[in-house]
Structure 1
Amino acid sequence: MQTIENEYGHRFKDKRVVILGGTSGIGFATAEAAAREGANLVVVSSKKENVDRAVSRLPEGTKGCAVDLTNEEQVRTFFSNIGEFDHLVFTAGDPMMIENLDITDIGTAQQLFNLRYWGAFMAAKYGSQNIRRGGSLTLTSGIAGARPQKGVTVAASICGAVESLTRALAVELSPLRVNTVSFGIMRTEFWNEVPEKHRSIMYNNVGESLPVGRIGEPEDGAEAFLYLMRENYSTGQIIVVDGGSTLV
């Protein structure tokens, strides 16, 4: 056991990891996990107060930047100034729209696409040029794309678009490895708009229905991102982290 701990304890030593959306939820858990393995971190969010709070909780030397990831000029400027790095993770995203098609607000739907799809697209366009050989780009999706339910048409569309983008980027940017992690329901700030009482009931009900018997935690998501950064052979792949929810 000690040998394994020593091997992975410094797996990211001298590696620089940039996490877009790395100030909360799965993104922040990924930052913490990468830091434990020796990574130098850059975390990005649209709000400076979130960036400052995250940096204060991460190891000394962590850098943080406030960037509007829907603004092409800000994204281009960020990557122009940040220099080279080894891994880029995109976890940024506002809560998904859950509404029936007949009442869907098109403007709101477009805003979601601007961040979750076009934000990822621009990160790949401008960030991939800075990634050192042997590095990786990992995006974020959700199981709504593979198993849509009523009311998630917009979310399913975004997930499908991101997963297609992943495969296309893996070809266009090769030999850079490009993958995506697709999540089921996770216990993150994503659900904070749901009143706490109802949120707890939802977590319990969903957790009991899953083959693993519990809801997903941010740390579960972080492990998937670290796996895709560590290994050197997968590209164009969608790694599903959903507790088995696509099976039941």
Structure 2
Amino acid sequence: MSYSFSQRRVLIVGGSSGIGEAAAKAFAEAGAQVVIASRSQDRLDAASRRIGADVETAVLDTTDDAAVEAYFARSGSFDHVVVSAAKTPGGLVRSLPLPDAYSAMDSKFWGAYRVARAVSIRERGSLTFISGFLSVRPGEWVLQGSINAALEALARGLALELAPQKVRVNAVSPGMIATPLWGGLPDADREAMYEHAAATLPARTMGRPEDIANAILYLASTPYATGSTVLVDGGAAIA
């Protein structure tokens, strides 16, 4: 039986593309009043047209302390909040410039922290972070793995801190997902990467944003789920 989010107000931070956009579309199709936020009004407008529903948009830079505080001071309360926004340059620890490392942590971890600190979530609502399977299998992506692990720990801690307010906090941990993140690669290289993933992952398929959206809606619609990290990675963590 599908869950209805009718009359529920949902904020997707990072809702202008990829996983965030897919989650916004899924919530809208389930009847929610959806607000998508990102740094670019043009990208928000394009996403709104693709979603094809009456969604609100909000320009929000989660790396800007004052902007985050100001937005949530005027936005009102939400029933469910999803934080998917991040820009995380990567590389080996000893070769990645420190300013890039600081920027990655500021974007993905501190951005989520700022939102969690400022947002008003209604009783029986939820907050969901998007982390990533590198938290358990970082390989050469040490910084990204560390940031994802920190996000998952933040979700567990906030699940306890916000329990008296009856707000649930969880994380969804995706594997490799076919999103605009890979748009900078030449088409042939990108398709080859997707085909390799589909051939080698235990799930024998490439991940899609809709797969992660399913997990996000599951957590938002399940009153017993809090402090959880749902791994949706095609089996990459065990391969």
TM-score normalised by length of structure 1: 0.92
SS of the aligned residue for 1:134 comes to strand
The counterpart of 2:162, out of the listed 154, 170, 173, is 173
Shift of 1:121: 0.3
The equivalences for 1:45-194 within 5 A come to 45-94=38-87, 96-127=88-119, 130-150=120-140, 152-174=141-163, 175-194=166-185
Q: In structure 2, give the amino acid aligned to 1:200.
A: E
Superimposed CA distance per residue, residues 112-161 of structure 1 (whole angstroms, 9 cap, x where no aligned partner): 1111000100110001xx211110000010111101102x1110110111
SS of the aligned residue for 2:224 comes to coil
Q: Does residue 215 of structure 1 match 2:210?
A: no
The counterpart of 1:238, out of the listed 207, 222, 229, is 229
Q: In structure 2, give the amino acid aligned to 1:164.
A: A
Shift of 1:60: 4.7
Cα contact 2:15–2:37 (8 A) shared by 1: yes
Aligned length: 237
Cα contact 1:79–1:126 (8 A) shared by 2: yes
Cα contact 1:140–1:181 (8 A) shared by 2: yes
Identity, % of aligned pairs? 37
SS of the aligned residue for 1:103 comes to coil
Shift of 1:98: 3.4
Name the CA distance, whole Å, in 2 between partners of 1:79 and 1:51.
Answer: 18
SS of the aligned residue for 1:138 comes to strand
Cα contact 1:35–1:59 (8 A) shared by 2: no
Name the CA distance, whole Å, in 1 between partners of 2:171 and 2:86.
Answer: 14
The counterpart of 1:197, out of the listed 188, 202, 222, is 188
Name the CA distance, whole Å, in 1 between partners of 2:94 and 2:54.
Answer: 49
Name the CA distance, whole Å, in 2 between partners of 1:114 and 1:243.
Answer: 28
Cα contact 2:21–2:51 (8 A) shared by 1: no
Q: In structure 1, give the amino acid aligned to 2:183.
A: N
Q: Does residue 42 of structure 1 match 2:53?
A: no
Name the CA distance, whole Å, in 1 between partners of 2:234 and 2:53.
Answer: 34
Shift of 1:87: 0.2
What's the RMSD between the two structures over aligned residues? 1.2
Q: In structure 1, give the amino acid aligned to 2:203.
A: V
Name the CA distance, whole Å, in 2 between partners of 1:30 and 1:37.
Answer: 11
Superimposed CA distance per residue, residues 50-94 of structure 1 (whole angstroms, 9 cap, x where no aligned partner): 111122333553110111110011111111111122000000012
Shift of 1:230: 0.6
Superimposed CA distance per residue, residues 94-117 of structure 1 (whole angstroms, 9 cap, x where no aligned partner): 2x4332222111101111111100
Name the CA distance, whole Å, in 2 between partners of 1:72 and 1:101.
Answer: 27
SS of the aligned residue for 2:131 comes to strand
Superimposed CA distance per residue, residues 178-204 of structure 1 (whole angstroms, 9 cap, x where no aligned partner): 000001100001111222111110110
SS of the aligned residue for 1:246 comes to coil
